[in-house]
Structure 1
Amino acid sequence: MQYYVSPFNKEAKLKFPKKITIYDTTLRDGEQTPDVCLSPYEKLEIAKKLDELRIHQIEAGFPIVSSQEREAVKTISNEGLNAQVISLARTKKEDIDAALSCDVDGVITFMGTSDIHLEHKMNLGREQALNVCMNSIEYAKDHGLFVAFSAEDATRTDLDFLKRIYKKAEEYGADRVHIADTVGAISPQGMDFLVKELKKSIKTDIGLHCHNDFGMALSNAISGLLAGGNVISTTVNGIGERAGNTSLEELVMALKIIYGVDLGFKIKYIQELSNLVEKYTKLKVHSNKPIVGRNIFRHESGIHVDAVIEEPLTYEPFLPKMVGQQRQLVLGKHSGCRAVKAKLDECGFEVTKSELCKIVEEVKKNREEGTYIDDKVFSEIIKTIRGPADP
């Protein structure tokens, strides 16, 4: 058995869409994290690893930004990946032309639709904005592109206007529309309401681009799926503007294990992908980050370690090898005899019961004095208790 979750999950009788598409925006929204700048080579390496995971779509970048960005997006587009390669474009002809020059399969064209965006950023009225958006959709479709129209700040947009602009986008040939929760300001219940309302007006696919300002990006994404959306935007390690986006690894594993929805991803590459993004972005993954954090499969507490040695799933919802992680038993203040004995066995040391008890006490004492118990320190403790003889 590789995982063991609550049997009550199945009692909820939830219904997910038959087909769910994940488009990953690590190379676009993820790179918009302050202080992050990826080279074309780094972008390509991440894209190839995403493709190895079998991601459905890769949002490779924002071509209008710079010549180097266009080089990166074009390189990814021509790499022969299985994933569909898309890029971001404002509702401007020059942005769409830049995307076309990169040989992408499609574009996400966007405009802020909330009154606060229209007034303070766009300086446009609703009718003007609607016309600009439709012109860009029409232009992109005329050039053979897959087109997703994203209403930026959709979750703070007037509902009637949002319905109208999405309906028009559908009529102009948009392949899907995106709800952008730009500042993470909607609740899961609000997302449920919004998606169901939109489903009354449009038939096209609905994508969900959720930000994590209140820690609810994952919950909002799942709520949107259950309400009838069928496309989710993610980033590796949950990076992105401010508090980041819906985490790719959290969404994939929650759907697979908690909800029983397997999207066919090669999840054994999750940790490799996380490490690669951490390396190139220089954004350190928090030790307690779900799925990929270094502490997720590390155990110190004696009570936990005793049980994990007997049956790992007592304190792990799934086995680490599923995502390319490894279990680690850590020695410290909370360690008991069984954990120390396991470490001794691993190192090839045989000790008496009396020596074991003394080693446990020394481990606790050293840790409480501020010393981390690595292999070198552990060996020194053993030598102190039983002498320097080789194992």
Structure 2
Amino acid sequence: MKRTLWLEDGTSFVGTAFGASVETIGEVVFQTGMTGYQEMLSDPSYCDQLIVLTNPLIGNYGVNREDFETTVPMAKGLIVKEVCDTPSNFRSTATLHDTLKRFNIPGLAGVDTRMLTRHLRSLGVMRGVLVDGDSTWETVQHRFDVLLPTNQVERVSTKRAYVSTGSGPRIALIDFGAKLGIMRELVKRDCEVVVLPHDVTAEEVMRYEPDGVMLSNGPGDPKDVPTALPLIERLMPTLPIFGICLGHQLIALASGANTFKLPFGHRGANHPVVELETGAVTITSQNHGYAVDEASLATTGLVVTHRAVNDGTVEGVKHLHHPTFSVQYHPEAAPGPYDANDLFDRFMQLVQENKQKVGM
């Protein structure tokens, strides 16, 4: 069946429908990773977004039960050059087409995704609609009159607390749209993980007597999550805090800094980041459309620790007076390299040092 992607500037890309037979609207973003379409599709940070994959062949190793990053994907759609209907991999349990149908997500194949990516790089990310059958700009233009929602974090966050038991430190994971990869890394280090909703208060967190706090990734504009700021401000002097992606941006906002929207974001599995203290360059997995304004950090107590090699934007900060640090990229990868995985070990060391300090 014919399916068309219409962008809000009037540009159209015509291809073939796969996945669910639904029409939808979302923010069109591109991802440059060569593999990991299942993890991308199920990453809560892609809530309300139409994902354009630049790799030309998608679906060739199928979908399996283990690699989901959330139980219910919230992406609005998937746009590819060519979709494979006959995957070949011993772990595969379903095709990409069947998986999209299962979660009611439409797909579009047969379009020049690299041309589309160049368009978005030139003009910036924008909203798009997927429409089935014949359509014209006149028939779809009115669909852009409605703004996209701003409650993505509320929709992807857990609604109630739950615990993953372990014999090590107790970590409070604040779920702003956490990938399961973060949980896996904490469990791998024998942590007892208490997963808490995005709007939890500092008092509620402290009732669990955690040894450290993890602020997760998540979708949307960090300024749409105001309830997190007093939480972070209250906990920073008390407990070690490690923020990832959205968690990193929220630490900056809670400290008095500012964030801004990038023209087309960082989404891929090969973004180089330099650690300023050592000069070491790490290849990282990234997925964000907003960044911390470095000029606004001057009076916050935060200093830049990591910087993106490609565009110089802030990729990591630490607090000069509190046991708090954060990175804009994904040390848990999935998909992507594990070059930055040692940041979880640094967090564990910070937790142990704080426990010893408190016990003295």
TM bracket (short chain): under 0.3
TM-score (norm. length: structure 1): 0.26
Structure number having the greater helix percentage: 1
TM-score (norm. length: structure 2): 0.28
Higher radius of gyration, 1 or 2? 1
Structure number having the greater strand percentage: 2
